[in-house]
Structure 1
Amino acid sequence: MVVEQLLGGFANIFTPFNMAIFLIGLFLGMMSGSIPGLNGTMTVVLLIPLTYGMGPITAIMLLSVIYVGAVYAGSISAIMFRVPGAPEAIMTTLDGYPMNQQGRMGEAIRVAVFSSAVGGIVGVIILILFSPTLASWSRTLSDPEYFAVVILGLALVSTIGAGNVTKAVITMMLGVLAATIGLDALAGTPRFTFGIQRLTSGVELIPVILGVFAVAEVLKQIKSGGQMIGDADDDAGSSIGSLRPPLHYFKRFRRILSVNSIAGTLIGILPGAGATTGALFGYTFGQRIVPQDIRERFGTGVPEGVAAPETANNAAASGAFVPLFALGIPGSGTTAVILAAFILHGLTPGPSFIADNQSLVWTIFAALLLANVMILFMNGPIVKLFTKIRNVPQEILFGLILVFSIIGAFATRNILFDLWVMFAFGIAGFYLDRYNYPIAPFVIGLVLGPIAESSLRRGLVKASGEFVVFLQRPISAVLLVVAVLLFTIPLLQDTAVGRRFLTLGGDR
């Protein structure tokens, strides 16, 4: 039955018109993800009006394929320029960019492409086989579980701060603080706006990311006189340009590929979590399941540090379609925009949507699977294309990055204020990096902070202000206990008082 329905979905794609639209969508998604400052959400928003003259199947297929392409391709600019082409690629910068500076850009992109494709394929397979079950499971979760999951994610920041957990926690809390700027989500009153009208809508994620990563890195390179892209060329092998994927990566990254594909899909089905959250969890999960010698080198340029977030974020992108189809609740920012396209075409997602719209749903499943398979076999040509960037003079490269960053920051809301936000956070990111304060925990706090606050406060409202509700539900209680342990132990190990306390505890 599943095979027949999936074949029917492929039959809908392999018509001349739909196949052309599919290829255009995949190309647009990859380009929007790989160009600094642009992203898949923006591209989907721009193309929604153009889909009005299309049939629902063609329109939703186009937007879904753009999403997949953008989530994958965001890793390219993250690796080459330390500029996440999409928020989902934030964690890829931590090891992908150091690999680039070590002259291993081609290897980093190969790992990213391969891991993205495998994570996406596994995510789609899980989606195809278990979407009704996953939808039923997601309906049993409530705000206490969402809050506990996010707190666990924030606690795992201690892993990213390996070597200086205290500084990592400080920057994470600054990110959470920045996330509170704007209107109170429940009360609707302004907070920490200091009378600045533009801050009532909060601090936009895209300008902040472009600031702390792109602008800060350009300032760093200009000051140090270094090079953004390494001189060495690791791409002389005969495999470059080949359509044969690097199958030996299955063995090398088998733990990461298996664990993060499943974990990313499960995180993706949480309403509002999306691929960005999947990448955050994927990186920390990956660091904990690799051998000790590799774990200690996360953040310095190890391929496992690229494979972990890329596997998880692409699996989460597939999982985000579960709450969209079954609950009418977007699983990410881009699927929220796709939900608007559903409404435009007279479609109403909900519990009976999959059963009532099988032709559409199975065409989307087939399109997601085909897109990820094509990315897997395009590994070699993609690496060959983008490694040519090495030939661009540094001065031109810095200028192009700043231009694209300015365009991306302005295009988010079309207001000049976001440019000032980008440059302000760029300067802040430059000084944080200069004094060895990690940037990634700040972005993690900024992304997960609003989810944690809204889940916490909604849960308290439903429980009449009783905090005990978070411990009465088994899943949330277990996650919170694990989060406390994961957070406090590394933090204590990172301080003199904590080390003395742990030593005394071990002597008793």
Structure 2
Amino acid sequence: MDLLANLGLGFDAAFTVANLGYCFVGVTLGTLIGVLPGLGPVATIAMLLPITYGLQPLSALIMLAGIYYGAQYGGSTSAILVNLPGESSSVVTCLDGYAMARKGRAGAALGVAALGSFFAGTVATVAIAVLAAPLSALALKFGPAEYFSLMVLGLVAAIVLANGSLIKAIAMTVLGLLLGLVGTDVNSGAERFSFGIPELSDGFGFVVVSMGLFGIAEIIANLEKGERRDIFATTVGGVWPSRDDFRATWKPVLRGTFLGSLLGVLPGGGAILSSFAAYTLEKKLAKDPSRFGQGAIEGVAAPESANNAGAQTSFIPLLTLGIPPNAVMALMVGAMMIHGIVPGPQVMTERPELFWGLIASMWIGNGLLVLLNLPLIGLWVRLLKVPYRLLYPAILLFCCVGVYSVNSSALEVAFTVAFGLLGYLFIKLRCEPAPLLLGFVLGPLMEENLRRALLLARGDATVFFTRPLSLGLLLATAALVVILVLPNVRRTRDVAFQED
């Protein structure tokens, strides 16, 4: 009954004209940036963070969340029609989705992707609603030692699950932790690494770092790419799958939903890992694996269901523990802090209308996405023909205006450009910036909880090992480190990195 009462509170909060409007804006923008190759949800949310200053906290979170899971829907459209993933989690959809389009079955592929995504998003939102209360109750038992150990586990897990070189993933995480040290020490009041620059007395702004690394860097990198887009299917035809299609895809959709819901909770996992794992699982279970890559509809249904489920359940550690499992959730932490909300289990008790309103908005958003994706396929096809050279000047101007509007500081705009150039360098060096952002967000929180735990224990460092929950989290971290250094795991990562 408590769950139903809480959901009722959430729907009351979400079903206002303003919040419904921002939900619609969020999922529409998410679909749009998912359809257009080159921009992803991380860059878009980073660009839109300054706008959230003038919004109510719930409205801001509803809009940003809609952008994230909306991009998972939109990414399948360009993957199927153009063979270009509009969003990184839609990479595997290209394999069979584009092959279906070449066989004249683009409509069926798009329909299965949209309906599978809707089902997975709905089920994953139920999982969030059911698990939120018990996990928050568990999190209330956490002290500073447990939070420190949990954040260490999160960073190590992000390194384990990051793409590419292990050394580079570690280096990016450490660099993020170092950037988080810039600013005023909370205990002594002394400035650290500010070099006498007044704007750095509070450290680098979250908007500055995120917009530079993900927004401007992506724009520079996209300018290098060719603009040739072969849209194979300009007329899609019927998007409602046939009875045979439903019969072939209902099991892959269920498996993808289950797998994505589990992997979405993991730090560094989310939508990308979920879609790859679901595709691999379907290929292994198939009676004829050779069909995959040739237009197997299961190769569209499973990953599209998994990436949406993973996108939704990645909110669980954010809402219940205050720990961001991926770069998008780190941006959501930034949006909450902008409004003076400390992420964690206390949000459920202190701001229940915000907590349950966000969950309720996900059901509303998933319904809106089906309405947007199926009837408006023709519009998305036309948008795919817009040259990127016409888009990037407006995006760049929007970035600079947004950063300047936060503190009216021209120097922060310069810092954003510098981080953009640094992000472009990372792209050229094939260093994934997501671990850096996680380190930047979690670093100050780790330091604060480390100091608080040691102060309460009067300098006794064994407090991290004598408290059962903290010890369990550290043992899980040690297990991940052991997995990480296993020769076959490192060899697999190196091979995947070289082939990328």
Counterpart AA for 1:315: T
The residue that corresponds to 1:46 in the other structure is: 54
- Does residue 200 of the first structure (1) align with residue 198 of the second (2)? no
Cα pair distance change 1:437/1:140, threshold 3 Å: same
CA deviations 1:276-334 (Å, max 9, x no partner) are: xx773435864895548999xxxxxx98888766534433447756689xxxxxx9444
Q: 1:339 to 1:119 in 2, by over 3 A?
A: farther
**1:96–1:306 CA contact under 8 A, matched in 2:** yes
Query: 1:7/1:147 Cα in 2 relative to 1: closer, same or farther (>3 Å)?
Result: closer
Matching residue of 1:23 = 20
Structure 1 residues 488 and 100, CA gap change in structure 2 (3 angstroms): same
Taking the aligned partners of 1:74 and 1:162, their CA distance within structure 2 comes to: 20
- Following superposition, the deviation at residue 449 of structure 1 comes to 2.4
1:125 corresponds to: 126
Confirm whether residue 432 of structure 1 aligns to residue 433 of structure 2: no
The answer on whether the counterparts of 1:180 and 1:450 sit within 8 Å (CA) in structure 2 is yes
In 2, the alpha carbon distance for the partners of 1:455 and 1:293 equals: 43
Q: CA deviation at 1:380?
A: 2.7
Which secondary structure does the structure 1 equivalent of 2:384 belong to? helix
Matches within 5 A, 1:384-403: 384-403=378-397
1:315 pairs with one of 298, 313, 316: 313
- Corresponding residue number in structure 2 for 1:298: none
Q: Which residue of 2 aligns with 1:135?
A: 136
Structure 1 residue 100, shift from structure 2 partner = 8.6
Residue 83 of structure 2 is matched in structure 1 by none
CA, structure 1 residues 417+321, in 2 after alignment: closer, same or farther (shift >3 Å)?
same
Kept after mapping to 1: 8 A contact 2:45/2:67: no
Q: Deviations over 1:197-228 (max 9, x none)?
A: 11122222333233223322333344x4523x
**Pairing partner for 1:462 from 439, 456, 481:** 456
Paired with 2:283 and 2:444, the residues of 1 have a C-alpha distance of 33
C-alpha change, 1:309 and 1:491, in structure 2 (3 Å) is farther
The TM-score with structure 2 as length reference comes to 0.67
Determine the structure 2 residue equivalent to 1:169: 170
What is the alpha-carbon distance in structure 1 between the residues aligned to residue 217 and residue 383 of structure 2? Answer: 20
The change in CA–CA distance for 1:371 and 1:293 in structure 2 (over 3 A counts) is closer
Deviation per CA, 1:391-425, whole angstroms, max 9, x where unpaired? 22232122223223223333444422222122111
Q: CA RMSD in A?
A: 5.0
Structure 1 window deviating more from structure 2 (195-204 vs 231-240): it is: 231-240
Change (3 A) 1:426 1:474: same
State yes or no: 1:282 paired with 2:270: yes
- Tell me, yes or no, if structure 1 residue 210 matches structure 2 residue 208: no
In structure 2, the residue matched to 1:85 is none
The sequence identity of aligned pairs, in percent, is 23
Q: 1:332 to 1:309 in 2, by over 3 A?
A: farther
Once the two structures are superposed, residues 333-386 of structure 1 have per-residue CA deviations (whole angstroms, 9 ceiling, x without a partner) of: 44556777xxxxxxx9775986xx9xx987776554333333345433466544
Structure 2 unaligned regions, length at least 5: 34-42, 79-85, 285-298, 323-331, 492-500
SS at match of 1:391: coil
Per the alignment, residue 51 of structure 1 pairs with none
Is the 8 Å Cα contact of residues 73 and 373 (structure 2) preserved in structure 1? Answer: no
Residues 29 and 70 in structure 1, CA contact (< 8 A), matched pair in contact too: yes
Specify the alignment match of 1:406 in structure 2.
400
Counting matched residue pairs gives 434
Contact 1:115–1:311, Cα closer than 8 Å, also in 2: no
Indicate whether 1:72 and 2:60 are aligned: no
Per-residue CA distance 1:434-484 (angstroms, 9 max, x = gap): 233333332332233233222322222222222222222333323323323
1:183-194 counterparts in 2 under 5 A?
A: 183-194=184-195
Segment of structure 1 superposing worse, 477-486 or 372-381: 372-381
CA distance in 1, matches of 2:203, 2:113: 32
Q: In the TM superposition, what is the alpha-carbon distance from 1:120 to its structure 2 partner? A: 5.1
TM-score, normalised via structure 1 length: 0.66
- The 3 A distance-change label for structure 1 pair 158 and 432 is same
Partner Cα distance (1:314, 1:466) in 2: 40
Residues 12 and 416 of structure 1, relative CA distance in 2, 3 Å threshold: same
**Distance in 1, Cα, partners of 2:171 & 2:487:** 16
Structure-1 residue corresponding to 2:466? 472
Alignment partner of 1:369 is 2:377:
no
Matches within 5 A, 1:488-499: 489-491=483-485, 493=487
CA shift in 2, pair 1:421/1:455, >3 Å? same
Residues 3 and 129 in structure 2, CA contact (< 8 A), matched pair in contact too: no
Counterpart Cα distance in 2 of 1:31 and 1:479:
39
The DSSP-based 3-state class of the residue aligned with 1:392 is coil
1:207 and 1:110 mapped to 2: Cα distance? 39
1:129-174 deviations in Å (ceiling 9; x for gaps): 4554343222112233322232222223444555521122222211
State the 1:175 CA deviation.
Answer: 1.7
Q: Which is worse superposed, 127-136 or 93-102?
A: 93-102
Relative to structure 1, the CA distance from residue 260 to residue 161 in structure 2 (aligned partners, 3 Å threshold; closer, same or farther) is closer
Residues 7 and 170 of structure 1, relative CA distance in 2, 3 Å threshold:
closer
Which position in structure 1 is the counterpart of 2:257?
A: 257
Shifted more, 160-169 versus 31-40: the winner is 31-40
Q: Is the 8 A contact 1:166 1:491 kept in 2?
A: no
Task: Return the alpha-carbon distance in structure 2 between the equivalents of residues 287 and 486 of structure 1.
Answer: 22
Residue 238 (structure 1) aligns with: 237
CA distance in 2 between partners of 1:306 and 1:452 (Å)? 35
Runs (5+) with no aligned partner, structure 1 = 49-58, 82-91, 268-277, 296-301, 325-330, 341-347, 500-508
Tell me how far apart the structure 1 counterparts of residues 112 and 208 of structure 2 sit (CA, whole Å).
27
Q: Indicate how the Cα distance of structure 1 residues 80 and 284 shifts in structure 2: closer, same or farther if over 3 A, else same.
A: closer
Q: Are the equivalent residues in 2 in contact too, given 1:283–1:309 (CA < 8 A)?
A: yes
- Could you list the per-position Cα deviations for residues 222-252 of structure 1 after superposition, in whole angstroms to 9, with x for gaps in the alignment? 4x4523x84444675435599x9x9777644
Distance, in Å, in 2 between the alignment partners of 1:443 and 1:428 is 13
Aligned to 1:506: none
- On the 8 A contact 2:276/2:303 being kept in 1, the answer is no
For residues 415 and 442 of structure 1, do their structure 2 counterparts lie closer, same or farther at Cα, with a shift above 3 Å needed? Answer: same
What code does the residue aligned with 1:486 have?
A: L
Q: 2:237 is aligned with what amino acid?
A: S
Change beyond 3 A, Cα 1:19–1:202: closer
